[in-house]
Amino acid sequence: MGNLCKPWGRPKQLVDVTSEPTPRASRARRRNAVLSALCLAAPLLGLLWVPWYAGGGPALAGVPFFYWYQFAWVPVSALLLLVAYRLRRTDPHRPTLTRGGTP
C-alpha cells in the first residue's frame, strides 16, 4: 500500500551542486543578466512610448502605422523573451539541483 504513493521506489535526494563562481564566471553572469534585462526592457519601452508611434505615419497595406507598429512587436517580443530565457538558462553558475548527487 505504501508503494502506491511512490511507484518508482525510494525518492532520490536533491543535492545542491553550486560552487563559488570565479571572477570570470561572475562577469559572464553579470553580462547575461544585463543582456536579458535589455531584452525584456526593449518591448516595454517600445510600446509604452505612445507619442512616438501615435502619429499618422506611413500605412502598410492600408493599415495605419499605429496598428502595425504594435502588431510588429508581438513576434519581436517573443524572440526577445526567448533570448532572455536562454541567456539566463546558460548561466554557468546558477543554482542547480540534481537528483542523486550526479551533475
> pLDDT per residue over 6-61, tens digit each?
555 555 666 555 555 566 667 888 888 999 999 999 999 999 988 888 877 788 88
Q: What is the pLDDT of residue 50?
A: 84
**Cα–Cα–Cα angle for 11, 91, 20, rounded to 5 degrees:** 75
Q: What is the pLDDT of residue 17?
A: 54
The answer to whether residue 86 sits within a structural domain is yes
How far is it, in rounded angstroms, from Cα 86 to Cα 29?
13
CA-based torsion, 59, 61, 67, 72: positive or negative: negative
- pLDDT of 102 > 60? The answer is no
For residue 69, being part of any structural domain is answered with yes
Total domains present in the chain: 1
Q: What is the pLDDT of residue 81?
A: 95
Contact by Cβ (8 Å): 98, 11 = no
| CA torsion, ordered 6, 9, 10, 16, to nearest 10 deg | -90
Tell me, yes or no, whether 3 lies in a domain.
Answer: no
Q: Residue 85 domain-assigned?
A: yes
62 three-state secondary structure: coil
